[in-house]
Amino acid sequence: MADNYIDAVAWLRKRGEKKLAAGQGEEALEFYRRMLHFGRDDPKIMEEAHARLGDVLLALRNLSEAEDHVLAAIGLNSNHAHYHYLLGIVYTAGKNWKKALPCFGEAVRLAPGNAEYLRGTGWALVCTGKMNRGEQSLWESLKIDPENTWTVSDLGVTLMQKGRYKEAETLVRNSLDKHPTDYQLRDVMDGIRRSRRAYEDTKKRQRARGQNPLPGKQGLVDTLLARRMAEDGYDYIQVESACRMWRDFARRRQFVIKKPEVWAAAIEYTIARLDFLEDVTQRKMADKYGVSEGVISDHFQNLCGSLNITHFDERYCSFHPTDNPSP
């Protein structure tokens, strides 16, 4: 009887793996669900089946059900590092970086030398605004697995976001020399070069107009806007409008800037609202700059009130009603 049970579980597992290898995720799910039902009195089989179901559902972008199954696997075995990593990937797929970060952190605690777990941790740190810690974790990952192009890509983007363009280009170029057909590395390299050109062009135009660099953290906000908006494909008029808005606001106020990313997020969101970029939400800005939505909302109201910003404001809007009569 026991042998028949073991054989049945092994058959279901093998069939699921075969379907998955053939790219038939939905069919694989059926075998793993039968495996879960078949092993409902065996915690080890249930643990494995939940983990496999979570992995496949993640690949199919069914994030809610994937989360349920991975949590169930963790409930049966909380010391399995990969389950925590898998849960972090589920949250990452939904861009819920704050929930992903502790999952990756637990995976690293349970398996300290795992390069992929360190990569996940590093990227989640970067995406929650903890740039220095994120960079450190990514370097640690790359030291363990220097050929991992995903880590190189993440680290290249991180260095770009910190304005270290030359270092980012060198890192990605060296990896591209070894992996010339890697599409992600090519995309990252293109993004670094675009961002660098746009940032340098913005700064050049500011100097041509006699605009001196802003002092201290005010200058960091200005630099963040020029750099991060360029990365996301804003045109030079929008980037300059954002920098102008910030300079106009900073000149009017005496205030302490605790976190430049908050003001950069609020300024970019305000520009997006003026230009009717509906996909730029406070949530998206919060994820991009590693700040909270509530703070962005407060600063947005502050900006609009202090600068008396109106619809189609000629100072900051890149187009006017005559350009697009039906916004």
- 2-162 against 213-307: fold identical: no
Asked if 99 and 89 touch (Cβ cutoff 8 Å), the reply is: no
User: By percentage, how much of the chain surpasses pLDDT 90?
Assistant: 51
pLDDT at 156: 95
Asked if 176 and 200 touch (Cβ cutoff 8 Å), the reply is: no
3 has a pLDDT exceeding 60 = no
pLDDT at 4: 62
Residue spans of the domains in the chain: they are: 2-162, 163-209, 213-307
Which range among 95-99, 170-174, 215-219, 302-306 has the greatest average pLDDT?
Answer: 170-174
One-letter amino acid at 78 equals S
**Residues 30-55, mean pLDDT to the nearest whole number:** 89
105 has a pLDDT exceeding 80 = yes
Asked if 88 and 124 touch (Cβ cutoff 8 Å), the reply is: yes
Asked if 71 and 87 touch (Cβ cutoff 8 Å), the reply is: yes
Asked if 296 and 282 touch (Cβ cutoff 8 Å), the reply is: yes
Cα-flanking dihedrals φ and ψ of residue 147, to 5°? -95, 5
Mean pLDDT of the chain: 88
**Residues 146-163, mean pLDDT to the nearest whole number:** 93
Q: Using one digit for the tens of pLDDT, what is the confidence trace for 9-41?
A: 888 888 888 888 888 888 988 988 988 888 888
Would you give the end-to-end CA distance of the chain in angstroms? 70
pLDDT at 290: 84
Question: What's the distance, CA 178 to chain centroid?
Answer: 26
2-162, which class in CATH?
mainly alpha
pLDDT band at 5 (very low <50, low <70, confident <90, very high): low
Gap between the Cα atoms of 296 and 266, Å rounded = 5
* CATH number belonging to domain 213-307: 1.10.472.10
CA atoms within 13 A on the CB side of 315: 14
> How distant, in Å, are the alpha carbons of 130, 231, 244, 290, 313 from that of 259?
12, 20, 19, 10, 27
pLDDT at 112: 94
User: pTM for this structure?
Assistant: 0.77
264 has a pLDDT exceeding 80 = yes
Written as six digits, the tokens of 287 are: 């994820």
